Amino acid sequence: MKREERYQILLEHFRKEMPNVTTELEFGSEFQLLVAVILSAQCTDKRVNQVTPELFRHYPTAEAMAKAEAEDIFVFVKSVSYPNAKAAHLTEMARQLVERFDGKVPSTLDELTSLPGVGRKTANVMLSVAFGQAAMPVDTHVYRVSHRIGLVSASDNTPRKVEERLRKYIPQEELGLAHHWILLHGRYVCTARKPHCEKCKIAEACLERGKKVEGKKQKV
């Protein structure tokens, strides 16, 4: 099966099954989304959503968080992964938002990635979810699923290369949706430890599953 066919099957399926999908993170503003995305690095959205209500009750805005110390933020985020580093990033990020952007979250990739704790993936999430721009964030789920299904080549061995490959085949206006489609497929179906191929609705397009099926045929 050609790569174009894999994309066609995937996109057609999710267009029908998940026409209106967005992040599972809970937030009330662009600033709060940025905080949540930073906290979500190597951590589940479920855990982040358990932490942020109380955090946002005390620090709802960049101005409020900019006045806090990392130790203050740590109290609320200590149950997420790498809490010390993230608490430090959040306080410094908030201060820079106040000092450089009048407390508002910027809407360009370069400006976003200039903030502490904000890498390309986080910036792309903000561009897509907060600002409705054509962006393809590549997290661990998107990276893994893209390789398993065969959406990318083995040589696409960095998140940036995967992002660039996906952008070539997915219509620009659907990049944001496709990010969530692939991410959620990886979170609930094509999981890291054991993919649930028996309930996968796009198994016919999967390169990895095709290899397994072919291998069983050869053994018979």
Closest CA to 71 of 45, 53, 90, 56: 90
Would residue 110 show up in a list of annotated catalytic residues for this protein? no
Residue 62 has pLDDT above 90, yes or no: yes
Would residue 201 show up in a list of annotated catalytic residues for this protein? no
Q: How confident is the model at residue 219 (pLDDT cuts 50, 70, 90)?
A: low
Catalytic residue among 78, 110, 139, 199: 139
Instruction: Kindly report the CATH number that applies to the domain delimited by 30-130.
Output: 1.10.340.30
The Cα 163–Cα 146 span in angstroms is: 10
Residue 86 has pLDDT above 60, yes or no: yes
- Give the predicted TM-score (pTM) of the model: 0.89
DSSP-derived secondary structure letter, 127: I
- Give domain limits for the chain: 3-20+137-219, 30-130
Catalytic residue among 45, 46, 102, 121: 121
Instruction: Kindly report the CATH number that applies to the domain delimited by 3-20+137-219.
Output: 1.10.1670.10
